[in-house]
Every structure is written in structure tokens, then in C-alpha cells.
Amino acid sequence: MSEQVRENRLRRMATRQGLVLEKCRRRDPRSIGYGTFRLVRDIYVGQVWIDREIVASDGSRRGYGLSLDQVESYLLHN
């Protein structure tokens, strides 16, 4: 299975659990965090989006750092 297909499958899995899979937007392959992910939960008051809560990350300040394997493990076991 290609990485893009796997990423899309994990995005759908996260959505079913009320989460959003976000990919780090850095474009430099030598940059820390390039190609890594995090899971977030949108916070709403009524129908109005107000914030995002980081549910799973590597604990860094930016909140990314998870591989697809780590994302899959989190989604399957939590």
C-alpha cells in the first residue's frame, strides 16, 4: 500500500473517531518535523469552532513528530 493511500485511510479512521490527522506543512526534507503528523480534536461552542486540542504528538512545541505507524497504533488502541 502506498504512503498516500495509507495516509488517506488513517485520515478516514481519525474522522470516524472525531479527530483530525494533520501533516506538518514544512517543505524542506532536512527540516525537523518534515513529513510527520499529529492528531487533533476540534473544539466547538455550539456550532462555532473555537480551538484545536492536540490529542497525540511527539510532545514538541509544534506538536508534530508522529510517523504513520505511530498514528495507526494510536487510532487502533485508543
Residue 61 has pLDDT above 70, yes or no: no
Domain hosting 36: range is 3-77
The whole-angstrom distance between residue 64's C-alpha and the CA centroid of its chain comes to 8
Task: Name the H helices within 1-78.
Answer: 3-16, 68-77
Q: Is the dihedral of CA 33, 23, 69, 16 positive or negative?
A: positive
Q: b/e per residue, 20-47, with b = 16+ CB within 10 A?
A: ebbbbeeeeeeeebeebbbbbbeeeeee
* pLDDT reported for residue 53: 83
Question: Which tens digits make up the pLDDT trace of 6-52?
Answer: 999 999 999 999 999 999 988 898 988 888 999 999 888 888 888 88
**Number of structural domains, the chain?**
1
